[in-house]
Chain A
Amino acid sequence: MAAADSPSAALRRRDLCSRGIRLAGKMRADVVDLLDTYVEQQGLDASATVAAVEGVPLAAVERWDEQTGTQRLLENLAAYRAFRALLAQMLEEQREQLGEADAGLGRALAAVLLQVSAFAYHLEELLRLESRGIPGEEGDGPPPPPRLSLFEQKLRGLGVLRELAQWAVRSARDLRQLAKPSAATGTAPGLAESP
């Protein structure tokens, strides 16, 4: 937390938080739009319930308000790194399935992927300001998912996007918590707030 003491670090932190919040908002809006497109393009039912997908981190957490700032950042970073891998896989599968026939969906996926990467970058920068080591990505990342059928791939993609939308909301709230002056200490906020 030494870095947080300097004014420039505080400004940098605030700027990163602010930018990250807005990025999370933009990411949520884009993911919501993308979900509609994705459901339509993949021929899925928007109301279909998708069971938890393996490898996709869950945004919901208990005792969220008791988490420290660093903990929030680390959970977010892990989640978005996972989303980055999942989205990259989805983009590859999308290209394999549709080729260049539906470039719009591919561009939207690529844009969301970039946003996820950018958000992960924001988190890493914040962790650096927290003077915390950035956890390295685990080798090749999460273990490669088992080979799925096409329908299962579509459902998994739907689950990834829905969960990403949830994470976008949670991330925005996490960063708001971090942006508060008291949050700079890394202690858990007093207010109980649930994502």
Chain B
Amino acid sequence: MFSRWNWVACGFYLVLNICSPDASGGLVQSCGHIIPESPVLALGSNFTALCILNESCLDFGNIYASQIIWKIKNRVVPKEQYREINRTVSSVTFNDTSSLATPLTCNILADGQIEQNIYGITVTVGLAPEKPTNLSCIVHQISKFTYVMTCTWNPGRHTFLDTEFRLRYSWPEEVFPDCIPKGVNNSCTVTDIQFFVNTEIWVEAANALGKAESDPLVVDPIDIVKPLSPQNVSVSSGILPTVLKLSWENWISDAVMTLKFNIRYRITGDTNWMEVPPEDTASPRTSFSVQELRPYTEYAFSIRCMKEDGLGYWSDWSEEKTGITTEDQPSKGPPIWRIIAASQSPASWTVHLMWKALKPFEANGVILQYEVTVRDKSSPSCPLKKYNVTSTNHTLQLPKGTYEVTLIARNSVGASPPSVLLIPESNSKAPVKNLRTLPKHDKLWVGWTAPNSYVLKYVVEWCLVSSSSDCVMEWQITQGDVQGIDLKGIKPFKCYLITVYPLYADGQGSGESVKAYLKQDRPSKGPTVQTKKVGKAEAVLTWNHLTVEEQNGFIRNYTILYKTIDGNETVVTVDPSKTEYTLSSLTSDTLYTVRMMASTDNGSRTGPDFTFTTQKFGKGEIEAIVVPVCLAFLLIVLLGVLFCFNKRDLIKKHIWPIVPDPSKSNIAQWSPQAPAKHNFNSKNQMYPEGSFTDVSVVEIEADDKKSFSEQDLKPFDLLKKEKSTSEGHSSGIGGSSCMSSPRQSVSDSDEGETTQNTSSTVQYSTVVLNGYRDQTPVQVFSRSESTQPLLDSEERSEDHAGGADSAAQRQQYFRQNGGQDENNVDRPCFERAKQITHANEGDLVGFAQLQVSGQSSQPLGLGMAKNTQEAALSDILQTCTEGQTVRPETVEENPLSADDMPKSYLPQTVRQGGYMPQ
């Protein structure tokens, strides 16, 4: 308990000891201190510090050196580095000061727990300065009398300490003030420089850890001067056009320093300097004449100087001054060339003369005019023609021939040597050989092999090939001993057409041309391909050539790439001259994707995809299938028709059963006049005699014709129609016969009315009006026992529609009948007949009678009946050709008399309005 209170009291005492101000206003004496106080240590060295406790603290605070704890910043130093020297002194040792940091504190662990700081020091670690090296000095001339000397040196490694550098210099008997650099540690400038005395110069570097001096530099400052460049430089032209005189002033008097000079000059705008030989300007001077300059050329001059003996430094180059040499006469004639264009007259030329303006160094002044002289060599007697031109071209209209054109350029001093161009009537001389090009950086080299003959000059023409504009020609003339030139201003990726003409002394060679690129690139776009024709296994692709602007180089080939949706891509290379290609071995009915690639030497570019589908059938395949099928079908039909025709009787027998015809029934043969001639076997077989059980016979008196009312005659009329309809056909019944036709059915429509009235209630009767062929007509009315409908039921609906108006029906009937005969009757004839019909419409009764009496005997072949009537009707139908069908209506012109008509029997019920079923 005592001990604890003791420690508390000790701690309180320590705090009071440290913090209580003494009488002087500072802190009271602390309980200890560290030796050394704030040391500066060399980096890497070892260091030992002592913490010494005050005796007073020992007595009162009961603290000892063994309780001392050393700390760097807040880090406790390992106790292995401590050493208790005695009970008031503790030391700490660091083998390497690089591990040190600030502050280093000495602390006491009071009462074993409370840590109290006794003292602390700041430790500075650094390096001693190194010896400055590479000391060098230069004396700059500031003004005419002012010089400053700037010395620089290498200060050495960083010391981590405040290091002072001093530049010191002295004469043997004179010590000058030190030069202390400001803001830097590697240079200093001395202002009071005296020449002609060797001065010793050195650098001192010093810090807390040491001092170092550089090696001394002994130099006379006059030997390290960099003078100011000459001032007031002026340039004046002299009498000679190739000389300019420079004058200047020097900043330094000869008493101080004699100078030598460098003079450089260049043409204004040029970047390359030329220099006057140094030995020409190695002596002091204030002027110099520069020679061998170009006339009428602006030059820029610049001068610099240095000490004559070469010690020291060159001054900066002076400000540029320019001067222009005077004019001289042009040194050469302008290069001249021509373009010959066809004139309106075939015997003359339009000659465009053109020449290049002389370059400045050739013109030697301002060209005032050109003098063009044209001499006709083919007629030497012709006078010379002279033209004064101020431009660089001239156009002449000349008769075809050989001309010599001379061109002279003239300036204010004189005229140039003449340039001569021979324009022969034809370029009949040998051309150059082996014309070729080769890109060289940004120039295009054109080379050729000279012809065997001596060539004076070559003319190289070139122009940019364009698809949208004309070729704007440029040209250049070279000497005859040159076999290649570099074309400048050539753009990359552009196609140039280059032509070389050799010029001979007595003529001109024809031009050789070549196309070239300075630099090629891949095409800017790919060809657009499309199909021209697509087949089953092939497709014809077409495309357009890329324009020359799109090519960017020589198209070496086209590549066609095509594939199906899921197939591999097939590649085909095509010659670049082609615009069409046929893809073969394609799969039918397949979608293909095709694209096309154009390739130059430097790459390729693919065009857009194009898709097409091959056809399912090849060319002619459909025809090959359809035509044989059709032919076969036609053959079958034909064979069927022939078969039917040959077997018509049999077919008729089996397919077209004979409708019992009352008129052909055997019962009708009781007519006394023609029983023996009724020899229809079929009918005979079908209706054998004796099968008729009941026959009603009505005798009609010819004279009583008028006594019949129209109503009574209607049935006859209908019968007549039936006969008429049957005309040219085997029968109007059925319609399914091989020879039947739809018209037939239509024409049978009138019959339906009758059928409607009688089919279900009246047994058929056949009225035999005429004989068969040459047989005597037998007028027989037969009554059939059959109850089978006479007309096909399918025609009834039409019958109903068509039976509304009897008059109209008749007209329609005739029309139909006429139409039916179109194959046999010419239209005019038909028209005439129709007119006739209309005109005699009122005589239909008689006609009906005629029909009844004259045409009903041949239901199977009206043609036969027709033949029998031809003779009688021939007088009427004179306008018709022989053999034409005789129209029934014409019959009325030759009506049969009642006397001629055989007696017939009508059913008795006719007069009473119809038959009654029996």
Contacts and interface: CB of A to CB of B under 8 A. Distances in A.
Contacts of A22: 195-196, 222, 255-256
Given A26-B255, A121-B172, A121-B173, A33 B196 contact: no
B197 A19 contact: yes
A118 B255 contact: no
A20 B196 CA distance: 7
B192 A114 contact: yes
A110 B145 CA distance: 13
Contact of A121 (B171, B220, B255): B171
A122 interface: yes
Given A19-B220, A22-B196, A23-B197, A114 B174 contact: yes
B171 A25 contact: no
Contact of B194 (A25, A28, A33, A111): A111
Contacts of A107: 192
Contacts of B174: 114, 117-118, 121
A53 interface: no
Contacts of A19: 196-198, 220
A26 B171 contact: no
B736 interface: no
Contacts of B222: 22
B194 A121 contact: no
Nearest to B146: A107
A188 B492 CA distance: 85
Contacts of B255: 22, 25-26, 28-29
Nearest to A32: B255
A189 B320 CA distance: 51
Interface in B498-547: none
B196 A118 contact: yes
The number of chain A residues touching the other chain, given as a range, is 20 to 34
Nearest to A115: B194
B145 A118 contact: no
Among B194, B195, B198, B220, the one with the most A-chain Cβ atoms within 10 Å of its Cβ is B194
A114 B192 CA distance: 9
A115 B196 CA distance: 9
Nearest to A172: B255
A33 to B, nearest CB: 7
Interface string A107-132: 10011001101100110100000000
A171 to B, nearest CB: 12
Given A30-B145, A121-B172, A114 B256 contact: no
Nearest to A114: B194
Interface in B658-674: none
Interface in B187-205: 192, 194-198
A124 B171 CA distance: 13
Contacts of B196: 19-20, 22-23, 26, 115, 118, 122
B253 interface: yes
A26 B172 contact: no
Interface residues of B, number: 16
B192 A110 contact: yes
Contacts of B172: 121
A121 B220 CA distance: 14
Contacts of A114: 174, 192, 194
Nearest to A117: B174
Interface string B407-434: 0000000000000000000000000000
A124 B196 CA distance: 15
Contact of A26 (B173, B192, B195, B198): B195
Contacts of B197: 19, 23, 118, 121-122
Interface in B149-185: 171-174
A122 B195 CA distance: 12
B142 to A, nearest CB: 13
Among A22, A25, A33, the one with the most B-chain Cβ atoms within 10 Å of its Cβ is A22
Interface in A1-60: 19-20, 22-23, 25-26, 28-30, 33
B195 A23 contact: yes
Contacts of B194: 111, 114-115, 118
Nearest to B144: A33
Contacts of A115: 194, 196
B634 to A, nearest CB: 136
A29 B171 contact: no
Interface in B220-264: 220, 222, 253, 255-256
B258 to A, nearest CB: 9
A23 B171 CA distance: 15
Nearest to A33: B145
A55 to B, nearest CB: 22
B253 to A, nearest CB: 6
Contacts of B192: 107, 110-111, 114
A107 B198 CA distance: 21
Nearest to A22: B196
Contacts of A124: 173
Given A19-B197, A19-B220, A110-B192, A117 B171 contact: yes
A176 to B, nearest CB: 14
A102 to B, nearest CB: 16
Contacts of A121: 171-174, 197
B173 A29 contact: no
Interface in A151-188: none
A107 B193 CA distance: 11
A122 B174 CA distance: 13
Nearest to A19: B196
Contacts of A117: 171, 173-174
A19 B195 CA distance: 9
A124 B174 CA distance: 13
A33 B172 CA distance: 27
A29 B220 contact: no
A118 B194 CA distance: 8
Nearest to B222: A22
A105 to B, nearest CB: 13
B792 to A, nearest CB: 153
A193 B171 CA distance: 33
A29 B173 CA distance: 24
A18 to B, nearest CB: 9
Nearest to B199: A118
A117 B199 CA distance: 13
A33 B253 CA distance: 12
A30 B252 CA distance: 12
Contacts of B256: 22, 25-26, 29
Contact of B171 (A28, A110, A118): A118
A170 to B, nearest CB: 15
A117 B174 CA distance: 8
B148 to A, nearest CB: 13
A189 B253 CA distance: 30
Contacts of A20: 196
A22 B174 CA distance: 20
A122 B172 CA distance: 10
A110 B197 CA distance: 15
Nearest to A18: B196
> Which 5 A-B pairs rank lowest in CB-CB distance, beginning with the nearest?
A23-B196, A118-B197, A25-B255, A29-B255, A114-B194
30 contacts: A19-B196, A19-B198, A19-B220, A20-B196, A22-B195, A22-B196, A25-B255, A26-B195, A26-B196, A26-B255, A29-B255, A29-B256, A30-B145, A107-B192, A110-B192, A111-B192, A111-B194, A114-B174, A114-B194, A115-B194, A117-B171, A118-B194, A118-B196, A118-B197, A121-B171, A121-B172, A121-B173, A121-B197, A122-B197, A124-B173
Interface of B: 145, 171-174, 192, 194-198, 220, 222, 253, 255-256
Given A114-B192, A117-B171, 10 more contacts: A19-B198, A19-B220, A22-B255, A26-B256, A29-B253, A29-B256, A114-B174, A114-B194, A118-B194, A122-B196
